[in-house]
Amino acid sequence: MLYQARRAALSLLVAFFPAAAQQSRGSTEGLPARDEWQKVPEILAALGIAPGQRIADVAAGKGYLTKPLASAVGKTGRVYAVEIGAEELATLRTLSQQEGFMNIEVIAGSESDPHLPANLDGVVILNSYHELSDYKSTLAGIKRALRPGGLLVLVDNNPTRPGWFTERNDQASHHALNPKYVDAELREAGFEIVNRRDDFIAQPYAQWLIVARPFPR
């Protein structure tokens, strides 16, 4: 996945936020299937997605969200799947050649620039904002790419367990981030908050959702 997780203190993550630890390792043992809890239809609704739109999936991984995005924008739309990992990029390129997903364009991003095209209708980052090593530059790139009124949707792990780390960098290094930090970072980057749901998902992972758009130029 884009902006790979730092693993040094994974044992602490298991102790304080075990669900997020399982998610970071890709484990689903004993947990419901991801489609049962990730609320993809609500994420698409938050984007206001419609046929013909141009949407970027930043930190697309191997295309979990890219596929429903591509179906939603249809043949007249375009989905830009951004990654930096060679394995993920290869998987996404294979996906983009399959029937029904040829409206996907794969972009090799960097840790400071997602290399997005201009005039996008929306951008989404699912479960990976906390991994951004240079979130300021990445947000600047997203803001440049969004058309006036275009939306940025973020969904990520919420550190709700007692005893969890309180500092921003400590939380991020353990695969979660309090939405108050993200709210402030978005405002500083020139976005206004359209919607914020700190309790977007409760089980099996506590996750928040934030919808933002650039302040009018």
The stretch 173-191 carries a mean pLDDT of 97
pLDDT (tens digit, 9 = 90+) per residue, 82-96? 999 999 999 999 999
The answer to whether 114 touches 152, Cβ cutoff 8 Å, is: no
Distance CA 116, CA 132 (A): 16
51: CATH: 3.40.50.150
Q: How buried is 127 (Cβ within 10 angstroms: 0-12 exposed, 13-18 middle, 19+ buried)?
A: buried
Note the pLDDT of residue 163. Answer: 81
pLDDT digits (tens, 9 = 90+) for 114-138: 999 999 999 999 999 999 999 999 9
Apex 163 CA angle, 158 and 168, nearest 5: 50
The pLDDT value recorded for residue 8 is 31
Burial class (CB in 10 A: 0-12, 13-18, 19+), 26: exposed
Higher pLDDT: 17 or 108? It is: 108
- Check residue 170 and give its pLDDT: 94
Structural contact between residues 181 and 168, judged by C-beta atoms closer than 8 angstroms: yes
Residue 2 lies in a domain: no
- Is 102 part of a structural domain of the chain? yes
Whole domain around residue 157: which residue ranges? 10-210
In a domain, 84, yes or no: yes
Task: Look at 11-25, 49-63, 123-137 and tell me which has the smallest mean pLDDT.
Answer: 11-25
Residue 29 has what pLDDT? Answer: 61
CB distance 168 to 122 below 8 Å: no
Q: Are 143 and 151 in contact (CB under 8 A)?
A: no
| Residue 34 belongs to a domain | yes
Instruction: Say if 48 falls within a structural domain.
Output: yes
Domain total for the chain?
1
Task: Tell me whether residue 28 is in a domain.
Answer: yes
CB 12 within 8 A of CB 24: no
Whether 167 maps to a domain, the answer reads yes
Q: Is 41 inside a domain boundary?
A: yes
Query: What confidence score (pLDDT) does residue 176 get?
Result: 95
For residue 68, CA distances in Å to 65, 116, 143 come to 6, 20, 23
Task: Give 126-172 pLDDT, tens digit per residue.
Answer: 999 999 999 999 999 999 999 999 999 999 999 987 788 999 999 99
- Report how far residue 55's alpha carbon sits from residue 24's, in angstroms, rounded to the nearest whole number: 25
Pairing of strands 120-126, 54-58: parallel
